[in-house]
Structure 1
């Protein structure tokens, strides 16, 4: 399906996402939204929900600022899913009305809105972190390598899964990438995702990142037996390479596997240098559509 509401040909900043979300909710009342937290700079972190089923799956994107292409990926999925439900059509053979009744899909397209806007728009003197951010970025105004939130904390190194070990391997202070912060969930964005997960207790999660076209599916041998078969099928659907271990700790997928012992995946979409160009989005969407549907269809 070609997106009719979600913009897929522009740098996808926070305001674009909010505007698209309001338009989607107006066009498709089955899409609901919740605010699960507030970013450092006061931006509301939105999570969409579609479905009424007992089974719960949770997909998120943009833990890393320069990986913002994962936000329109999830937003376009919401639009396709809602349109198929409304028209009574299938997607890739999946019966969307059946899935709607059996599974609740939760989507957080933009975990890190402050960081995304920094990468896309840069920074000006009105930002309370102006001087620190410039210093952390070696006084460059090019933020294309920035993964962190506005406080220079890498949100995907923020979860309580061997956090101290990950912190010991990374930078000692804030910067564009890899600083784990002062404590697990020290940042409001990662804490919002963790609190949401604890409350909703999902059966399966996918954290979308870019790039590499790989699927990480294990963590320290704690993943359940079914994870490998799911990852293998995700690979068949997407063409991505399944890899058991990423070799890092304190990521969202790591923490979910460790504490829930349920299937959790980090999927790296696209190929190239972040931020990936929007010209890759149609292919990324085609590659991941079946994966998102299959994740929702499992019982």
Structure 2
């Protein structure tokens, strides 16, 4: 047996010849093969803890290498088959920590070797290549942390390419302008971002990318004294685009006047604990839409940076998912704010004109003249004096869940099976409930409102009756004082009471 050792640039290459005399001219074979230096490791380059190392050969793999490989393995020479090699990583105690079989082809000069979790401490490791006959090649590399793990939002000002890696990475997609992405690590010149589907990519650091919350302007205008369906629709769609890393927007229903009942999902979609928050079920109570929208925006904007009782929002929302409906009754809100002007359907305008009698601002029902908070199945009262006629309030509807808005809400409840529901109404600064719960105690503590218990036996088709029958914790905080529609000046007082309601509820149920 003969060992031939070749040492160069810190790489040790060994060719062990057994029964070398069986070859006609072993010396010439070795001389010609090593003369090309094709399969000698030239260097090992550490890329990062995420991408691993590059095993780089002296030159590109040639046809001579493929022929030699086939000769030593006594296989038929197939030019497109390539050379199958083994790579192993060892620590200085010769403990094998990782192994991988890979194939290199004609024209290749390097391969990338990913590192597993066993290789996670800074230090020196040895990489060895084997499999080309009795040939081995090994060299050392130093593992280090190139990236610092972070949990931030990366706001992209203009379209930016996303790469598959920092080493010879190809562009896999573009990060869209005016969007925020979840940034999980940063290194010298690079950010590593994670997409909603769990995949990752890399973007180069430049002035086009900001990790600061202040880079994103406010969406909801708290000084808008008449926050309309058009305002809400515009804002919630804009927020869904900007905060696509934490928020997802859906449409629960299209109303009789072809407006949308939007639902924003915030938090972990896979969480077992789901919470529903909605407002403006009654049309004239539209100030709450602005309040709930601002609560949603605050949680989205400061998702990675703000804390509630010492816990980051991002951690609070890991085990809880919110379904937020800012405007349950958009048709009715249009009527309360603009009378007949915003109603597109002629038949609906006739209904509103007939029953509104010019006093549109006090309208509570939807555009079909049905009070949505009397349209649920539990305790539905079609035969009550007030519930038999269409009008601005009180009419239960032709049958239980006759309205698109009600059906959509019931479908949502049946689909996600919420742990709790908060029904925002106006006014009086009280909290209605039927059964005591941790949710009730929390909302009372946050707001300071007095509580009013409703009789379970007095069911009248309200949402509360339906939720009680389903065994779902709920409460109805009636914000503001006076009679709806209330003055916009009350918004600022209510904002101070409710701004932390979402993280507080998340902490309660996490």
TM-score of the superposed pair, with normalisation by structure 2: 0.53
Alpha-carbon distance in 1 for matches of 2:255, 2:349: 16
Alpha-carbon distance in 2 for matches of 1:93, 1:167: 53
- Out of 40, 47, 55, the position equivalent to 2:273 is 55
Quote the offset at 1:228 in angstroms.
Answer: 3.9
CA displacement, residues 125-170 of structure 1 (integer Å, 9 cap, x when unaligned): 85322222111123x1x31110000010000111111112x75252
Structure 1 residue 95 corresponds to structure 2 residue 312: yes
Question: Residue in 2 aligned with 1:76?
Answer: 294
Quote the offset at 1:209 in angstroms.
Answer: 0.5
Q: Is the deviation greater in 50-59 or in 245-254?
A: 245-254
Matches within 5 A, 1:1-299: 4-10=218-224, 11-29=226-244, 30-52=246-268, 53-86=271-304, 88-91=305-308, 93-124=310-341, 127-128=345-346, 129-138=348-357, 140=358, 142-164=359-381, 168=384, 170-218=386-434, 223=435, 227-245=436-454, 249-259=460-470, 261-299=471-509
Alpha-carbon distance in 2 for matches of 1:243, 1:292: 22
Q: Helix, strand or coil: the match of 1:144?
A: helix
Answer yes or no: is the 8 Å Cα contact 2:237–2:249 preserved in 1: no
User: Which structure has greater helix proportion?
Assistant: 1
Alpha-carbon distance in 2 for matches of 1:167, 1:208: 28
Unaligned 5+ runs, structure 1: none
Larger CA Rg, structure 1 vs 2: 2
Quote the offset at 1:173 in angstroms.
Answer: 0.9
Alpha-carbon distance in 2 for matches of 1:101, 1:213: 31
Structure 1's consecutive aligned runs of 4 or more residues displaced over 6 angstroms after TM superposition are none
CA change 1:254–1:289 in 2 (3 A) is farther
Q: Helix, strand or coil: the match of 2:413?
A: helix
Q: Helix, strand or coil: the match of 2:391?
A: coil
TM-score of the superposed pair, with normalisation by structure 1: 0.89
Alpha-carbon distance in 2 for matches of 1:206, 1:196: 14
CA displacement, residues 22-62 of structure 1 (integer Å, 9 cap, x when unaligned): 22123212111011111111112110011113211000011
Q: Helix, strand or coil: the match of 1:35?
A: strand
User: Which structure has greater strand proportion?
Assistant: 2
CA displacement, residues 68-113 of structure 1 (integer Å, 9 cap, x when unaligned): 1111111111111111213x22146553111121110110011110
Quote the offset at 1:229 in angstroms.
Answer: 4.3
Quote the offset at 1:183 in angstroms.
Answer: 0.8
How many equivalent residue pairs? Answer: 287
Q: Helix, strand or coil: the match of 1:117?
A: helix
Alpha-carbon distance in 2 for matches of 1:97, 1:57: 16
Alpha-carbon distance in 2 for matches of 1:282, 1:92: 22
Unaligned 5+ runs, structure 2: 1-216
